[in-house]
Chains A and B, each alone.
Chain A
Amino acid sequence: MDLRLDAGLRTRVLRVRALGRERMRPLGLEADRLGRPIPADHPFFAELVRLGLGRTRWSGEDAAEPGGFGARAVVVLAEEMAYWDRGVAVAFPGPGLGEAPLLSLGTAEQRERFLGPFRTPDRPRWGALAMTEPGAGSDVAGIRTAAHREAGGWVLSGAKSFAANASRADWIVVFATVDPGLGRDGHRAFVVERGAPGLGDFHVEHKMGLKAYESTSFTLRDCCVPDANLLGGESAYDRRAGFKGAMRSFNATRPAIAAMAVGMGRAALDESHAFARANGLLGRPRIRDRLANVRRRLRAARLLCWRAAQLADERRPNALEASMAKAVAPAAAFDAAMLGMEILGEVGGRGDSLVEKLFRDAKAMDIVEGTGQIQRIVMARQLVDLPRDREG
């Protein structure tokens, strides 16, 4: 057992730290003040691309899994990014959440077509993923966006909600169903490209927090998608195990989202500790006890994230551990921000402090990538064989 970071990762953390302090946090505060996402043509995004960011993890080789950049490195860096601003981190160019299904499910040709432009991007490019619908969030099996086969391709009809970066994306990985009665067995994943006929009605949602990136709803009206854009091709869906196995790779993202929560909680802890110190509140045991509780819970959450990520790195089952990290970290982060508001008191109530922004930002972490309740259901399946109400 050794919890040290290696030298390479340390250097990367330091780089993120400099970028975070100088650019991410000010930009996040500005977006929050203006109440709108950072525009896609903001020079910051071009600057990131020049720095070598906004790229795919995919090396270009015909391998389903990218090498090099392990889950633990992702978790450590995600925590540091979110410490400075989680909203800005999500707005970063890159293939985003669409990358994982492309890597695990996509054919070699699809990876080249859709991830290839992200290897050394010429300009800021985004990818996106759309699963959630107005009527189906946690209940993923309940999506209604319909996929119908036609000559040479597919026709998609439905509505999608809350997809990050969708209106600026080159493509969106859209989940649809060939038969809602089949639950997850009926699901198909398509890469819908920008400008596809029938893709439209983009609406950028107004959120409580995390305003720096766009959460976008859109509709698919008889949207035609060629056969070549069905992720993995027809054969990927013949055996349910294949699709399910591919979906399991999502277990690497849960620890990263949980780590982001740890970073946000850490920011709230640092801010409220500094405020308490500056205002002579640290002499009060009641304040100190609560700061120490938050610190301890965040520390435990960080260790849970690291453990789940190590299992992912070792290609060992981590459904229980990944969900545990995701169940624990957001609650710890939100409590950190809530405590921060209490310590700031009316200064927090003014609505113009970082702690107040974190209080609005942090709540989302218990909702995205599976709510805390969904994580507990996943854990209960592992721990007590909780049955599925419906095959999903």
Chain B
Amino acid sequence: MPDFTLSPDLVLLQETVRSFAAQELRPRERAAEAARGIDGGVASACETIGLARLELPESLGGAGLGALAGAIVREELGAGDAGAALALDPLGPVLYALRDFGGEDALRAFALPVLEAAGARAILVFDAMPRIHTEGRRAHGTLPWVPADRADLLVVLERERAYVLRDSIACEPVRGTGLRAAGASALRIEGSPVLAEWVSTPCARRTLAHARLHAAALLVGVMRQAAEFSRRYARDRVAFGRPIAHHQALAFLITDMAAAVDAARLLVWEAAWRLDSGLAADEACASAFVECAEASMFVAPNALQILGGHGFMQDHPVEKYLRDARALGLLLGGIDAARDDAERDLLGIAGPVDLGGDDPQGELHAASS
């Protein structure tokens, strides 16, 4: 029977990260934004929980957790401070690229050094355009923005291949729309040696699916926090003789924001469950990203709107949620690149359109027709 219950271990993890985000990240979100980084105390508290090694295989000293655990942790971190979430996760989605293309050897060669160097950051870019070109064994090109102030490792993902760069990458600080706690730079790659290269369309799709879910889960956290902050504000703020939440136009907006957050979360969970169960997940992960990016552009601007003039001022965090959400949705080629993957199977299927879940319809259709 469809069952959304999280295992006790996952509930414990969720609660742990939720209180870490509330106690360590949220109170410092403006400071981290101004400093373009997180302070050492927060980083070491995070180290204690082991967040940077959650999905790393146990054989390499990680916790070996799956996509659902990753999604739950990232929602909580995103609800604290999405920029800090990136800063606290030195490997980020680079883990998936190295793991899916190169296995443990690649993780050992490229991931572990990043985890061992203090403050290091590995960056994954999806470069379908492409903006970076390889000639021989060297790469050239520029990237206008990545949410980091240093790039100790750069994995460039294309539709059919991935390659690893480490040297001759210049970071030029830019202001950044959001996620500033993670930093913001333009990258200039000038003859950077290609340290490893793999060609595999299935691996590229798998990496992209995992990476999209990574960003999607952070977006769920950001929009949940935006919705929650504005909901509380609307209950307290009085105008025309009652809490503004009791004016029906705002009451209905608040209900629709709550529904948007829950729908987005369920799509993320379902996609994560598919990944963890070994089911086809490219479309589900791409769709989850599209939903989260679009829903966050409904929830976050309206959260600001509910606060009115106060929302526009930086005394309240909602303008930051809006900037962070907008920035997250631009990663990995953004919504349109995700649509390409979400729609690919629409071209292929001749029968009923699978709606996910257990695919009771599509699969059973196939079985019965």
Contact = CB atoms under 8 A, between A and B. Distances in A.
Nearest to A83: B361
A303 interface: yes
Nearest to B365: A17
Nearest to B347: A282
A319 interface: no
Interface stretch (B27-35, B48-56, B264-272, B316-324): B264-272
A72 B5 CA distance: 14
Nearest to A373: B252
A387 interface: yes
A384 B245 CA distance: 6
B283 to A, nearest CB: 9
Given A303-B357, A384-B231, A384-B251, A328 B263 contact: yes
A269 interface: yes
Interface stretch (B36-44, B146-154, B348-356): B348-356
Interface string B291-314: 100000000000000000000000
A383 B3 contact: no
A95 to B, nearest CB: 24
Interface string A5-23: 1100110011001100000
Interface in A264-300: 266, 269-270, 273-274, 277, 282-283, 288-289, 291-292, 295-300
B364 A327 contact: no
Contacts of B360: 5, 10, 13, 76, 80
Nearest to A377: B251
Contact of B3 (A2, A18, A327): A2
B287 A306 contact: no
Interface residues of A, number: 61
B262 interface: yes
Given A266-B355, A292-B339, A384 B254 contact: yes
Nearest to A385: B235
Contacts of A288: 343, 346-347
Given A310-B2, A383-B255, A292 B273 contact: no
Interface in A57-99: 70, 72-73, 76, 80, 83
B1 A296 contact: no
Contact of B364 (A4, A14, A297, A379): A14
A83 B243 CA distance: 42
Contacts of A6: 1
A148 to B, nearest CB: 36
Interface in B212-258: 231, 234-235, 243, 245-246, 251-252, 254-256, 258
B357 A299 contact: yes
The interface residues of chain B, by DSSP majority, are classed as helix
B251 A1 contact: no
Contacts of B291: 296, 300
Given A300-B263, A386-B245, A380 B251 contact: yes
Contacts of B68: 1
A324 interface: yes
Given A13-B364, A306-B357, A380 B350 contact: no
B368 to A, nearest CB: 6
B368 A298 contact: no
B324 to A, nearest CB: 23
Given A307-B4, A380-B255, A384-B254, A302 B356 contact: yes
Interface string A165-199: 00000000000000000000000000000000000
Contacts of A4: 2, 358
Contact of A324 (B231, B259, B355, B361): B259
A204 B97 CA distance: 63
B367 interface: yes
A376 interface: yes
A302 B365 CA distance: 17
- Considering residues B5, B350, B353, which has the most beta carbons from chain A within 10 angstroms of its beta carbon? B353
B357 A14 contact: no
A206 to B, nearest CB: 32
A291 B346 contact: yes
Interface in A301-319: 301-304, 306-307, 309-310, 313
A388 B37 CA distance: 48
Contacts of B5: 1, 310
B45 interface: no
A3 interface: yes
Nearest to A307: B4
Contacts of A387: 246
B361 A266 contact: yes
Interface in B107-130: none
B45 to A, nearest CB: 28
A1 B367 CA distance: 25
A142 B246 CA distance: 22
Nearest to A11: B364
A291 B287 CA distance: 12
Contacts of A309: 2
Interface in A357-392: 373, 376-377, 379-380, 383-387
B243 A384 contact: yes
Contact of B252 (A3, A299, A304, A380): A380
Q: Could you say which of A273, A296, A309 has the most chain B C-beta atoms within 10 Å of its C-beta?
A: A296
Given A10-B360, A383-B254, A3 B353 contact: no
B255 A376 contact: yes
Interface of B: 1-7, 68, 231, 234-235, 243, 245-246, 251-252, 254-256, 258-259, 262-264, 266-267, 269-270, 273, 287, 290-291, 339, 342-343, 346-347, 349-353, 355-358, 360-361, 364-365, 367-368
7 contacts: A5-B360, A80-B361, A266-B355, A304-B263, A307-B266, A380-B245, A383-B231
Interface of A: 1-6, 9-10, 13-14, 17-18, 70, 72-73, 76, 80, 83, 262, 266, 269-270, 273-274, 277, 282-283, 288-289, 291-292, 295-304, 306-307, 309-310, 313, 320-321, 324, 327-328, 373, 376-377, 379-380, 383-387
Given A2-B273, A274-B350, A386-B251, 17 more contacts: A1-B4, A1-B5, A1-B273, A2-B2, A14-B367, A292-B287, A297-B263, A300-B264, A302-B357, A304-B263, A327-B256, A328-B263, A373-B252, A376-B256, A380-B255, A386-B245, A387-B246
| A-B CB proximity, top 10 nearest | A384-B245, A300-B263, A303-B266, A379-B255, A380-B251, A306-B2, A376-B255, A288-B343, A299-B355, A376-B252
